[in-house]
Copies of this chain bind each other. A is one copy, B any other.
Amino acid sequence: MSDDAVGGTGDGNDDGATDDWPVEIAGVVESVVTTLGPNDRWNVAALGLHAGDPVTARTYGRTRTWRNFRERGGGVVQFTRDPVGFVDAALSIHEVDEPVLDSADAWVEVEVERVGTDQEGDTEIVTWKLGAVDSGVERRVVPTTNRGFSAVVEATVAASRLDVDGFDREELLERLAYFERVVETAGGERERVAFERIRDLVDAEW
């Protein structure tokens, strides 16, 4: 990917030598990744970044991110605090014209390389190593903790497992009900909108 794809969006490091991430990756950090599809639009998806040197990530099955990683060799990882954008990335097919989302606080252009493959039932899990080739920080803030935001993220995890073998559907639905209550108690307006979006996108009752 060339600079112009992300040009003008931040204080990118243009010396071509960077392999640094603008954030610390500890444990698994939930990110959003855009990858360029065959239609030349950017697919937006959720991606968990696993700490390590190199940072790695997994794709589960023949997703758009898997296809685009394979065919384009990379994408743009980004960090966002917007729960609505996170839901769209995690649970819907969502495409945009530009690789960096307005809601991104920082982005990292990555090159990816397949480093492992596991099989879980019918699903092929591919592990990719991610190398940062360019990055930009849009804004730095004092982070705050909102249980409603976390509940939205957890609800997307539960929702995405509803039709996967090996998970107890009743337990997942109870969990969705719990996280909905947390959003009602502690969420702000964006978390409420995000949970409504989950209700729209998920074909289940709880």
- Residue A60 at the B interface, CB < 8 A? no
Interface size grouping (class) on chain A = 35 or more
Of residues 114 to 145 in A, which have CB atoms within 8 Å of B's CB atoms? Answer: 137, 139-145
Q: Can you list, as one digit per residue, whether each of A72-88 has a CB less than 8 Å from chain B (1) or not (0)?
A: 00000001010000100
For the complex formed by this chain, how many copies does it contain in all? 2
CB-defined contacts of A24 to chain B, threshold 8 Å: 144
- Residue A5 at the B interface, CB < 8 A? no
CA distance A143 to B145 in the complex (A): 10
Give the shortest distance, in Å, between A189 (CB) and chain B (any CB): 7
CB-defined contacts of A141 to chain B, threshold 8 Å: 23, 140-141, 143
Q: Can you list, as one digit per residue, whether each of A18-32 has a CB less than 8 Å from chain B (1) or not (0)?
A: 000011111111110
CA distance A29 to B81 in the complex (A): 14
Segment of A37-45, A92-100, A146-154, A197-205 engaged in the interface with chain B = A146-154
- Residue A190 at the B interface, CB < 8 A? yes
Closest residue of B by beta carbon distance from A190: B26
Contact in complex: A154, B150 (CB < 8 Å) = yes
Closest residue of B by beta carbon distance from A48: B186
Offer 20 A-B interface pairs, CB within 8 angstroms, sorted by A.
A23-B142, A26-B188, A26-B190, A27-B148, A27-B187, A28-B148, A28-B186, A29-B145, A30-B145, A30-B147, A31-B145, A79-B142, A79-B145, A81-B143, A105-B142, A137-B142, A140-B140, A140-B142, A141-B143, A150-B153
